[in-house]
Structure 1
Amino acid sequence: MTARRLVVEADGGSRGNPGVAGYGALVRDADTRAVLAERAAPLGKASNNVAEYSGLIAGLEAAARIDPAADVEVRMDSNLVVEQMAGRWKIKHEDMRRLALAARELCSARSAAGGSVTFTWIPRADNKAADALSNDGMDGRTIDRSYAAPDAAPGAAPDAATPATSATTTVAEAPVEPRQSEPDLTPPTRVLLVRHGVTDHTLRAQLDGRGGGDPGLNTQGREQASDVARAVRALVGRDVRVVTSGLYRARQTGAVLGERLGVTPTADDRFDEQGFGDWDGKSMGQISARWPDELVRLRTDQTYARPGGESHEQLRERVLAGWHDLVAAGGTTVLVGHRKPFLVILTDLLGIAPEGFWRLALAPGSLTGVEVWRDGNAVVSFVNRTDHLGD
């Protein structure tokens, strides 16, 4: 007998991150698309990630009440939750670990009953129903609705559902903080991302990650650093700090910037380039000829690392830890670093899935502008600006 198939759509949100939070989830019949259950509830003050995990748990619990042995596909627009539940990304925060464990226990119970759970990332535009329910939760409403599935007859409306005679429908108001409807008008944290100037390794397309040869700027790279310094001076005031990665080429570029701006740069090795292990110093031509499958895997498998190197997951964890500290400091910062760490920051801010990681261009000596507000909103003002080079 073919197992029943269900779809869980889940979401969560926080107005302030952390702030007024709530979650929403619904369960559909995978074949008819009929909505079988809806859930929403407020969480008080919590982060986006906690709210998203809470929505996931509510959706899995609702699916368990419908059919504990069905095959379930979970669809969420949170790449973080999907990747962590798939085991490809580590879970750093204790509150998220606790919620992830509860979700995994629900998945294990389903597996023991003969069913399965898979996770799929979807764009935010495709998760509107769960998003609407999560907003109900943030507005202080608790929703627990169950429906009887309509017959999957030809021509039946795919989203139609009939209230079950034995089902309960609860919509309760809960005390909640006033909704933050006004935008955060306080000054944002401004960060100017500056990729270092070129080295001989750059021109030869050789990998030069942390733990490698740590090359310095060549003549062209030093000229690019001077060009960058002039451009940055025109974009920022004197109340600015300069932070560089711990690698020599970034520190050299940062030193030129610091001199131009009248500040002393500080180095933070959390923004170092990815460690490529035994591939450091080798050209992309050599790598693609000798290790073509491994090269594809490094680009697509978040957990894959070369011997002595780092996986993308490890890179992401350390870079975002540094980024969160930098943003929390406020003010204006010029961050001098490398392509992959900057791609980690930008894809996290923009919600870009891992497969879209390489679609952003960041040339040596380029400038990228970012603004982040205390309520978690962010704007990428410009990317890969290079018009100042060679002036």
Structure 2
Amino acid sequence: MGRALVVEADGGSRGNPGVAGYGALVRDPSTGRVLWEGAAPLGRESNNVAEYSGLIAGLRAAQRIDPAAEVLARLDSKLVVEQMAGRWKIKHEDMRRLALEARELAAELKRAGGSVAYAWVPRAENKDADALSNAGMDGRTIDRMLEAPSEPDRRAAVADEDAVAEEIVQEIVQEVVEEVVDPTPAAVLPGPGHGPTTRIVLVRHGVTDFTTAARLDGRGGSDPSLNDAGRDQAASAGRALAHLLGGSEARLVTSSLARARETGAAVGEAIGATPVVDAAWDEQDFGDWDGASVHDLAREQPDELARLRHDAAYARPGGETHAELAERVLAAYSRVVAAGGTTVVVCHRKPIMVVLADVLGIPHDRVWRLAAAPGSLNALEVWPDGTVSVVFTNRT
């Protein structure tokens, strides 16, 4: 049994549809203490889309705290509760997509040994989530983990090798965000004075069947295309970028791999830009492990898998080291900075981690603390004196 957690979620729209945002928190039911709280703007959306977005954010946070959590999701939206419980039909396309995403998260929790249940509460009993949703509608993005996931305690309680291997998989597959960001679109485009700034938005591609199956997929692998969920994520990223750019011009660069090029095509259509391919932004080459299941590797070759993750000089036969990956990615990043203006780069998780780790000075053994969810946006500003500001990360 996993940890018991309560998700409180809300969303709102000033106009319905109008300026929308969501808020959510995760609470320990035994103590009443808030473990995580989050909020984000959604652009112009309906109340129902905002409500679903809050639920999804809350479920993701609960999964980060304990991948096998027993979750009770409390919302003041009767519609969302009844639809997620399967008692009411979902007619609107946007809500069907969001409901599917929420159900996939619930299924992941259940497969790990947890559970998800839904309960309607009066609005008066959902004040904390409501306040966070108003922060989202005000343009604030919050992702505040108030208690770090208790991984060491959970690791110590594991009794057999299969469970230990699954813990390793969760470390690698699970995305953890521990920073608080508070951006608004105006903080990115256009920016304030101090001379012209170079603005870069790093976008991770949408998911493929390899992504959802936790298979390594580098530049030397089978190069799969986006699946249906990945195409939805690519379209969502395009809409988010169009809102962020507000009509401003931007260059568009993608890696050479199919999933990045396909995501880039959706982004290009949304922002009116023609993608240019630069293979230096490709994912790491995993050599003889390209296409391998992370679950299988964790059980059969855990030491080698740990080396691939933590040793920047380690490469699989026929593959490349993290250091080699970083050399080509940072060269590509330098070319983007030198071009000036605004550039959107559609690439992969490890190249995004390389750039963020470099500008933030994060050592290699901690680089996996940087999250970059499929379809997420990560923005940087580079000032004329070379100063770099990370404006926000992992915005989906």
Name the counterpart of 2:149. Answer: none
What SS is found at the alignment partner of 2:390? strand
1:246 aligns with 2:253: no
Deviation, 1:299, is 1.6
Q: Give the Cα separation in 1 of the matches to 2:384 and 2:331.
A: 17
1:186 maps to which of 181, 192, 195: 195
Name the counterpart of 1:200. Answer: 209
Describe the superposition over 1:139-162 as per-residue Cα deviations: whole angstroms up to 9, x where unpaired.
xxxxxxxxxxxxxxxxxxxxxxxx
Deviation, 1:381, is 0.6
Name the counterpart of 1:80. Answer: none
Structural mapping, 1:75-86, within 5 Å: none
Q: Which residue type is aligned with residue 298 of structure 2?
A: S
Q: Which residue type is aligned with residue 302 of structure 1?
A: A
> Do 1:217 and 1:252's aligned partners in 2 also have CA atoms closer than 8 Å?
yes
Q: Which residue type is aligned with residue 240 of structure 1?
A: A
Name the counterpart of 2:394. Answer: 384
Compute the RMSD of aligned alpha carbons.
1.3
Q: Give the Cα separation in 1 of the matches to 2:259 and 2:379.
A: 21
Unaligned runs of 5+ in 2: 1-191
Name the counterpart of 1:119. Answer: none
Q: Which residue type is aligned with residue 261 of structure 2?
A: R
> Do 1:190 and 1:371's aligned partners in 2 also have CA atoms closer than 8 Å?
yes
Q: Give the Cα separation in 1 of the matches to 2:379 and 2:314.
A: 30
Deviation, 1:354, is 1.2
Q: Which residue type is aligned with residue 356 of structure 1?
A: R
Q: Give the Cα separation in 2 of the matches to 1:213 and 1:322.
A: 24
Name the counterpart of 2:281. Answer: 271
> Do 1:320 and 1:345's aligned partners in 2 also have CA atoms closer than 8 Å?
yes
Name the counterpart of 2:343. Answer: 333
1:223 aligns with 2:232: yes
Describe the superposition over 1:80-127 as per-residue Cα deviations: whole angstroms up to 9, x where unpaired.
xxxxxxxxxxxxxxxxxxxxxxxxxxxxxxxxxxxxxxxxxxxxxxxx
Describe the superposition over 1:335-354 as per-residue Cα deviations: whole angstroms up to 9, x where unpaired.
10100010000000001111
Name the counterpart of 1:306. Answer: 316
1:256 aligns with 2:266: yes
Name the one with the larger helix percent: 2
1:358 maps to which of 365, 368, 379: 368
Deviation, 1:184, is 8.3
Deviation, 1:356, is 1.2
Q: Give the Cα separation in 1 of the matches to 2:319 and 2:375.
A: 25
1:369 maps to which of 362, 379, 382: 379
Deviation, 1:187, is 1.7
Describe the superposition over 1:22-74 as per-residue Cα deviations: whole angstroms up to 9, x where unpaired.
xxxxxxxxxxxxxxxxxxxxxxxxxxxxxxxxxxxxxxxxxxxxxxxxxxxxx
Describe the superposition over 1:9-30 as per-residue Cα deviations: whole angstroms up to 9, x where unpaired.
xxxxxxxxxxxxxxxxxxxxxx
Q: Which residue type is aligned with residue 309 of structure 1?
A: G
What SS is found at the alignment partner of 1:380? strand
Q: Give the Cα separation in 2 of the matches to 1:184 and 1:235.
A: 19
Name the counterpart of 1:342. Answer: 352
Name the counterpart of 2:305. Answer: 295
Describe the superposition over 1:214-257 as per-residue Cα deviations: whole angstroms up to 9, x where unpaired.
00000111111111111100111331111001100000000111
Name the counterpart of 1:26. Answer: none
Q: Which residue type is aligned with residue 195 of structure 1?
A: R
Name the counterpart of 1:50. Answer: none
Deviation, 1:291, is 1.3
Q: Give the Cα separation in 1 of the matches to 2:217 and 2:309.
A: 16
> Do 1:278 and 1:308's aligned partners in 2 also have CA atoms closer than 8 Å?
yes
Q: Give the Cα separation in 2 of the matches to 1:316 and 1:262.
A: 30
State the aligned residue count. Answer: 204
What SS is found at the alignment partner of 1:319? helix
Name the counterpart of 1:175. Answer: none
> Do 1:184 and 1:373's aligned partners in 2 also have CA atoms closer than 8 Å?
no
Unaligned runs of 5+ in 1: 1-182, 387-391
> Do 1:184 and 1:375's aligned partners in 2 also have CA atoms closer than 8 Å?
no
Q: Give the Cα separation in 2 of the matches to 1:259 and 1:208.
A: 26
Name the counterpart of 1:39. Answer: none
Q: Which residue type is aligned with residue 357 of structure 1?
A: V
What SS is found at the alignment partner of 1:242? strand
Q: Give the Cα separation in 2 of the matches to 1:199 and 1:267.
A: 19
What SS is found at the alignment partner of 1:210? coil
Describe the superposition over 1:191-222 as per-residue Cα deviations: whole angstroms up to 9, x where unpaired.
11110000000000001100100000001111
Alignment TM-score, normalising by the size of structure 2:
0.51
Structural mapping, 1:41-52, within 5 Å: none
Q: Of the two, which has the highest radius of gyration?
A: 1
Describe the superposition over 1:239-297 as per-residue Cα deviations: whole angstroms up to 9, x where unpaired.
11110011000000001111122221001000000000111111111111121111111
Alignment TM-score, normalising by the size of structure 1:
0.51
